[in-house]
Amino acid sequence: MSAPASRPASAPVRVPAGTTAGAAVREAGLPTTGPSAVVVVRDADGKLRDLAWAPDSDAEVEAVAADTDEGRSVIRHSAAHVLAQAVQQVRPEAKLGIGPPITDGFYYDFDVDQPFTPDDLSKLESSMKKIIKAGQRFSRRRFDSHDDARKELADEPYKLELIDIKGAPGEDPGDEIVEVDASGELTIYDNVHAHTGETVWSDLCRGPHVPTTRFIPAFKLMRTAAAYWRGDEKNPQLQRIYGTAWESQEALDAHLQRLAEAERRDHRRLGAELDLFSFPEEIGSGLAVFHPKGGVIRKELEDYSRRRHEEAGYEFVNTPHITKGQLFETSGHLSWYREGMYPGMHLDEELNADGTVRKPGQDYFLKPMNCPMHNLIFRSRGRSYRELPLRMFEFGSVYRYEKSGVVHGLTRVRGMTQDDAHIYCTEEQMQGEIRSLLQFVLDLLSDYGLDDFYLELSTRDPEKSIGSDEAGSARRTRCARRPRLRPGPGARPGRRRLLRPEDQRAGQGRDRAQLADVHHPGRPDAPGPVRARVHRGGRVAPAAGHDPPGAVRLHRAVLRRAHRALRGGLPGVARPGAGRGHPGHRRAGALRRGRARQLKAHGIRVEVDASDDRMQKKIRNHTMQKVPFMVLVGGRDAEAGAVSFRFRDGTQRNGVPVADAVAAVADWIGSRTNTSPTADSFAPAP
RNA sequence: GCCGGUGUAGCUCAGUGGUAGAGCAACCGCCUUGUAAGCGGUAGGUCGUCGGUUCGAUCCCGACCUCCGGCUCCA
């Protein structure tokens, strides 16, 4: 889903004082039309400038072509202006919000009386095409003062707000607001008629822009949506239009092609097509049932996970799905996570005849997290430091109340089963535990076919987190990639999110696996005191002071949800129906059943397709079901004591002796390869 | 939660103010098959749910529910 790679930077261009960058670019013989047309330049300070920019003194600039990330952003931003102009033509009452370029496109927010309809979109596209064809020039104009700007934009309340934000000392509007920036300048872009020189439309904007609207070679409006002004639901809701724009029609087509491909690989679509899981309306939004084939996948993933955890020294625990509220009072969940929890059930209350309460009841809650329960196990008796590290693992089902508008396939659900673990250790053991845990998680993810991901290290937010900085002072852990420091989001009160792998194939980064949180003793929800000693100089020595130091708890979940493994096909560890036998000829019937039995004897899941469909039909069916090994037994194979393989990519391997075939399939599965076998990659021993 | 869209057979979708159709799947036959759809037939729907308008509603109106997209481009 990534955009085509950027072209390398071109040689510097010299812009003589008083002349425009555009003239210098033309002078240098760089393209001014086509996909590689130069759309802006970058000055010596790294700032992007319009081609109409004329420096006061000679300047060295770098040309930025349309088919680069930056070039596309400029095109998209300019397309957003064209969209806004088109909207205000049709709806003069529309007030402008913001209109930035984004990954693969742009959007613009409008305050309008009536939301846009799909019909409006196609009309707006036509209007935009007219504007683009007219070749309006983007002309930069600088306001002399904020008051001038306010006067000119008196009818645009949201723009006025942006001016005020800019005016406020010490307030950085942030990169995402392209209308204004932190510099001293406040600028507006006029769209100037190509022939009359008349300004037809203007928008507050820091720029830069393409020279004329003709430099927007290909665009498409994608969808409408509502968006709160500045992302805050307390603010008015604006109507947003999303679009995409590219340096050429071909690039646009390729992008649409990628979107279609992504849709085909959507786990929700796979879930339905391959009969893996569904979300019955009768059960409720965000609550999945797994069908037999989906169940096989889960079972394989879970069996494998359990085995690996066992080898890595984890112990298995089990906890209930529901608990009295007190547990989550102690943990703090009910104070800061309440809106993410299902409301409590008030139980066991008894009333007197007169209606007064004789026995007060209790509130029970579905658990949104497993940690407090694991803590109770930890605390169930006095713990010795000799027991540490204590690693508890559970496939724990948790229930979270997600707002109705956000549930989404298996990625945002109201009930799910986590591969959840907590490691209780001393502060001294923590570093080593984090190190081994990280390696363990990376290995496991890799076995699931997730080997391309992003790690980040979230640091403590001093305002939100509680407790001292020491135990958790995040230790950077070396791994496949250097973790990126990122303050903030790890900062839910009292917890610290250390690392999370990010699956690149997740697309919009919507999907994140929480990998490790550190919980410091001293928190009310901390694991509790432990008779621990600290290690000094390799020797175990009594902890200083009278207070037991307590255990530190590491928290981690690897897969979190089964869908992660479903993305982009199925991992080799968990394909339903590893092979399908196919009787090529009726006489081969007994034979194929016998061969299926041989495969089953090796623990391979085999189904025999005994339907009387033509072979082409069977191949088509099973290919669409993504069966990795299709085993065909026809008359020729039967006579030769062999079988034939057909793979998902259409390649085949015919006449393989039965014993070799069985061994080769067993080998393949044992190797935990995550790609689909092909005639090339699957090589039975001769 | 909010905004918009959507809901017709198991699936993908047509369609109409006078209680519905196709393809695939299923089932039953015929064909006896060598690498991505053989042929014929049968059956299958409270047109998301509940209300309203109407002589009559799947269609028009309202509410609710489901699902899809989005709610500072961000990992």
Q: What is the value of ipTM here, to two decimals?
A: 0.91
CATH architecture of the domain A12-69 equals Roll (3.10)
Indicate whether A591 pLDDT > 70: no
pLDDT digits (tens, 9 = 90+) for A509-532: 333 444 555 555 444 445 444 433
User: What is the fold of A289-321+367-566?
Assistant: BirA Bifunctional Protein; domain 2 (3.30.930)
Find the mean pLDDT for residues A637-645. Answer: 84
Which is the CATH superfamily of the domain at A577-670?
Anticodon-binding domain (3.40.50.800)
Partners of A109 in the β-ladder: A240
Find the mean pLDDT for residues A159-183. Answer: 66
> Percent of chain A, pLDDT > 70?
76
Mean pLDDT lowest for which of A71-80, A342-351, A459-468, A607-616? A459-468
Indicate whether A333 pLDDT > 70: yes
Mean pLDDT lowest for which of A9-13, A201-205, A324-328, A579-583? A579-583
- Label each residue of A506-553 as H, E or C: HCCCCCCCCCEEEECECECCCCCCCECCEEECCEEECCCCCCCCCCEE
Q: How far apart are CA A431 and CA A566, in angstroms?
A: 33
Spacing of C-alpha A285 from chain mean position: 21
Q: Which residue places its CA closest to the C1' of nucleotide B36?
A: A620
Q: What would the two tokens of residue A111 be? A: 């305050």
Confidence of residue A440 (pLDDT cuts 50, 70, 90): confident
Contact between residue A227 and residue A109 where contact means Cβ atoms under 8 Å apart: yes
DSSP A363-419: EEEE-S-SHHHHHHHHHTS--BGGG-SEEEEEEEEEE----TTT-BTTTB-SEEEEE
Give the closest nucleotide to A511 (alpha carbon vs C1'): B75
Query: What's the CA A260/C1' B9 distance, rounded, in angstroms?
Result: 27
Mean pLDDT lowest for which of A252-266, A383-397, A432-446, A539-553? A539-553
User: What is the fold of A72-261?
Assistant: Threonyl-tRNA Synthetase; Chain A, domain 2 (3.30.980)
Contact between residue A40 and residue A208 where contact means Cβ atoms under 8 Å apart: yes
Find the mean pLDDT for residues A125-152. Answer: 93
Angle between helices A658-670 and A589-601 (to 10 degrees): 40
Q: How far apart are CA A668 and CA A670, in angstroms?
A: 5
Indicate whether A5 pLDDT > 50: no
Find the mean pLDDT for residues A32-40. Answer: 92
Query: What's the CA A118/C1' B56 distance, rounded, in angstroms?
Result: 33
Q: Collect all residues with Cβ–Cβ distance below 8 Å to A133 and sequence separation of at least 6.
A: A213, A214
pLDDT digits (tens, 9 = 90+) for A86-115: 999 999 999 999 999 999 999 999 999 888
Cis omega (within 30 of 0) on the bond before A389? Answer: yes
Indicate whether A266 pLDDT > 70: yes
Helix or strand or coil: residue A77? helix
Find the mean pLDDT for residues A109-136. Answer: 91
For residue A222, the model assigns a pLDDT of 92
Confidence of residue A608 (pLDDT cuts 50, 70, 90): confident
For residue A522, the model assigns a pLDDT of 45
- A174 sits within 7 Å of strand B by its CB: yes
pLDDT digits (tens, 9 = 90+) for A361-373: 999 999 998 988 9
> Percent of chain A, pLDDT > 90?
34
Q: Which residue has the higher pLDDT, A380 or A560?
A: A380
Domain residue limits, chain A: 12-69, 72-261, 289-321+367-566, 577-670
Give the closest nucleotide to A621 (alpha carbon vs C1'): B36
Confidence of residue A174 (pLDDT cuts 50, 70, 90): low
Confidence of residue A483 (pLDDT cuts 50, 70, 90): very low
Q: Which residue places its CA closest to the C1' of nucleotide B25?
A: A621
Q: Please give residues of chain A from 508 to 527 whose alpha-adjacent beta carbon (CB) lies under 7 Å from any atom of strand B.
A: 508-509, 512
Between β-strands A322-324 and A315-316, what pairing exists: parallel, antiparallel or unpaired?
unpaired
Indicate whether A340 pLDDT > 70: yes
Closest among A204, A62, A221 to A132, alpha carbons compared: A221
Q: What would the two tokens of residue A443 be? A: 């290995």
Angle between helices A427-447 and A292-311 (to 10 degrees): 140
For residue A585, the model assigns a pLDDT of 45
Task: Return left, alpha or beta for A472; rule: phi > 0 is left, psi -120 to 50 is alpha, else beta.
Answer: alpha
Task: Return left, alpha or beta for A118; rule: phi > 0 is left, psi -120 to 50 is alpha, else beta.
Answer: alpha
Contact between residue A410 and residue A563 where contact means Cβ atoms under 8 Å apart: yes
Indicate whether A615 pLDDT > 80: yes
Query: What's the CA A330/C1' B74 distance, rounded, in angstroms?
Result: 33
For chain A, give the mean pLDDT: 78
- A231 sits within 7 Å of strand B by its CB: yes
Name the most confidently modeled range: A124-133, A161-170, A296-305, A446-455.
A124-133
Query: What's the CA A624/C1' B9 distance, rounded, in angstroms?
Result: 23
Query: What's the CA A678/C1' B35 distance, rounded, in angstroms?
Result: 14
Q: Which residue places its CA closest to the C1' of nucleotide B37?
A: A617
Query: What's the CA A270/C1' B57 distance, rounded, in angstroms?
Result: 37
Cα separation values, A114 from A83, A237, A332, A521, A611, Å: 17, 12, 43, 55, 56
Q: Which residue places its CA closest to the C1' of nucleotide B73?
A: A102
Nucleotides of chain B within 7 Å of a protein C-beta? 1-5, 11-12, 25-26, 30-38, 65-75
